[in-house]
Structure 1
Amino acid sequence: MTTTRTHSTAAGQPGARDPFGAHLRHWRTRRRLSQLDLAQEAEVSTRHLSYVETGRAAPSREMVLRLAERLDVPLRERNALLVAAGFAPMYRQRSLDDPAMASARRAVDLVLKGHEPFPALAVDRHWNLVAHNALVPMLMAGAAPELVKAPINVLRLSLHPDGLASRIANLAQWRAHLLERLQQQIAATGDTVLQALHDELEAYPTPQVSHDTPAADTELSGVVVPFQLATPNGVLSFISTTTIFGTPVDVTLQELAVESFFPADAQTAAALTALAAQPAG
């Protein structure tokens, strides 16, 4: 596994019935490349690329995949490019519950379990909770019941006034951080569902947080944005990392991300260790 990469959709994104040239032009424009730039990247003539984009020439399957690679198109959209060019989709999309995905699911569960006594969770491309370790439900306690019913959207849970928002000590800072991450994802993938989620989150009223506290005083201050959550054990301060599968051949695996939270100070580490040692239930 390796560090995450972001993705997003924009207005005017081609539909399933649009020609290949429209899809290619959309992704080339999104990546801010001229035809000359892309032709040089893909090692084809500018004239041929222009013909492909305008529909005067049909691309080969190899050409479609080469252009998609140079444009860093997500696997889901690579399938759409192939279909638009008249070829069968190449990348499978299966649920993590599919028997064929058992080894991948075990790998995710091992990563989550191995991160205890610190919280870690896995989310899909729309930030819906897929899996988590034992610490996560303890931190979600107190959220409105409708926000913790499946499918749980972790961004909605975090920023909704009836979710964790009123308990996030550095809410303004964390909210800005999450919205910026989401906007970067939208800019890269053009996902309209993510855009709708961004608009929803941005419209939430910001609760007045009475236990506001300054950013964690650690050597990492100024390098990362901490997540500071008020709990019965005091304000716990975290830093987080995001991990993805490095070379997935399945759409679901490429879109799966593991978010791991690390204690930003000794007090948080001690509190989490004590919390994990408590009997279940």
Structure 2
Amino acid sequence: MTTTATVGPLLRTWRERRGISQLELAGRADSSSRHISFVETGRSRPSEEMVLRLAEHLDVPVRDRNALLLAAGYAPKYAHTPLDDPAMGVLREALERLLTAYEPYPALVVDAAYDVVAANRGVLMLLDGLPEHLLAGPLNAMRLTLHPQGLAPRIHNLREWRGHLLAQMERQIALARSERLRALYEEVSAYPVAGADWRGGRGEPVDGAVASIALPLRIEHDGHLLSFVSSISTFNTPMDVTVAELAIETLLPADPATAKYLRSLAP
């Protein structure tokens, strides 16, 4: 019963991370707290269906659902297809169409560790003038944004935006416990923050209407102060690890001046 003894503690760990009791999980998964207890202690071997059901209600990432299945003695259910695989051709084309359609506004696609897998011309415009060593592949969105030689000196509300990004990474690390993401977090959180506290910008008024909705990214480009609200989208019910870990980030102009400036740059 080695597999049972392995999958039980894994499920218990995920349940405890979510702060859910055995009784609550049993109610969600249409089971009993007794059965959940038996599974976690290794006294009962869960069926493949039960492993997947518990993983669903515990919001276990797709990659880790495969690990749970293996630990329970079952074959992985979710493929892990490289994005450059011919089978991903339709997905790649759809992402490219989406990013192009969003121009002149910036939009990009990142993987689970924020490596950029696709970006449109709006993003490339923001990266203009960065040093070559930061632009050497693979591009990493967090590194590009927070590095003192990257976009950080151009961001007027750097401390606020940095805090938002680091908190976002902390939530993801707590969810997935990714060593790769943890290493990136340790790197970018150690970057120095130039100058004094820039909270609220460098003296420019912050649009109250925008600030009441979401934290804007206020970034300078070629002497113009641009303001964006960020939106992140993921795929619903993905059946592939690669697809599950993709995120599409779009930057919506937060004021008319930003929208007008970006349209003026459009070819």
Give the TM-score of the pair, scaled to structure 1.
Answer: 0.88
| CA shift for structure 1 position 213 | 4.5
* 1:25 aligns to 2:12 (yes or no): yes
Alignment of 1:195-214 (within 5 A): 195-208=182-195, 212-214=202-204
Question: Residue 233 of structure 1 contacts residue 271 of structure 1 at CA under 8 Å; is this kept in 2?
Answer: no
Whole-Å separation in 2 of the counterparts to 1:27 and 1:157: 32
* 1:83 aligns to 2:70 (yes or no): yes
* 1:140 aligns to 2:127 (yes or no): yes
* 1:47 aligns to 2:34 (yes or no): yes
RMSD (CA atoms):
1.9
- SS at 2:80's partner residue? coil
- SS at 2:210's partner residue? coil
Sort the Cα spacing of 1:149 and 1:215 in 2 relative to 1 into closer, same or farther, 3 A.
farther
Whole-Å separation in 1 of the counterparts to 2:20 and 2:73: 25
* Residue of structure 1 aligned with 2:246, choices 256, 259, 271: 256
* 1:275 aligns to 2:265 (yes or no): yes
The one-letter amino acid paired with 2:184 is L
Question: Residue 166 of structure 1 contacts residue 208 of structure 1 at CA under 8 Å; is this kept in 2?
Answer: no
| CA shift for structure 1 position 129 | 0.2
**Residue number in structure 2 paired with 1:238:** 228
- SS at 2:209's partner residue? coil
- SS at 1:147's partner residue? helix
Whole-Å separation in 1 of the counterparts to 2:204 and 2:13: 43
Using CA pairs under 8 Å that are at least 6 residues apart, name the structure with larger relative contact order, 1 or 2: 1
Question: Residue 218 of structure 1 contacts residue 265 of structure 1 at CA under 8 Å; is this kept in 2?
Answer: no
* Residue of structure 1 aligned with 2:153, choices 166, 176, 185: 166
Structure (1 or 2) with the greater helix fraction? 2
Question: Residue 4 of structure 2 contacts residue 44 of structure 2 at CA under 8 Å; is this kept in 1?
Answer: no
Sort the Cα spacing of 1:32 and 1:113 in 2 relative to 1 into closer, same or farther, 3 A.
same
Provide runs of 4+ in structure 1 moved above 6 Å. none
**Residue number in structure 2 paired with 1:66:** 53
- SS at 1:219's partner residue? helix
Structure 2: state its 5+ residue gaps. none
Whole-Å separation in 2 of the counterparts to 1:79 and 1:163: 37
Q: How many equivalent pairs are there?
A: 262
Question: Residue 240 of structure 1 contacts residue 260 of structure 1 at CA under 8 Å; is this kept in 2?
Answer: yes
**Residue number in structure 1 paired with 2:104:** 117
- SS at 2:87's partner residue? helix
The one-letter amino acid paired with 1:243 is S
Whole-Å separation in 2 of the counterparts to 1:17 and 1:189: 22
Whole-Å separation in 2 of the counterparts to 1:124 and 1:187: 17
Question: Residue 170 of structure 1 contacts residue 213 of structure 1 at CA under 8 Å; is this kept in 2?
Answer: no
Question: Residue 4 of structure 2 contacts residue 42 of structure 2 at CA under 8 Å; is this kept in 1?
Answer: no
Question: Residue 215 of structure 1 contacts residue 221 of structure 1 at CA under 8 Å; is this kept in 2?
Answer: no
| CA shift for structure 1 position 168 | 0.6
| Percentage of identical aligned residues | 48
Q: Deviations over 1:148-205 (max 9, x none)?
A: 1111110111001011111111111111111111111122222222222222222111
Give the TM-score of the pair, scaled to structure 2.
Answer: 0.93
* 1:57 aligns to 2:44 (yes or no): yes
* 1:265 aligns to 2:255 (yes or no): yes
Question: Residue 110 of structure 2 contacts residue 117 of structure 2 at CA under 8 Å; is this kept in 1?
Answer: yes
Sort the Cα spacing of 1:52 and 1:168 in 2 relative to 1 into closer, same or farther, 3 A.
same
* 1:217 aligns to 2:210 (yes or no): no
Whole-Å separation in 2 of the counterparts to 1:45 and 1:17: 18
Sort the Cα spacing of 1:126 and 1:213 in 2 relative to 1 into closer, same or farther, 3 A.
farther
- SS at 1:229's partner residue? strand
Sort the Cα spacing of 1:86 and 1:102 in 2 relative to 1 into closer, same or farther, 3 A.
same
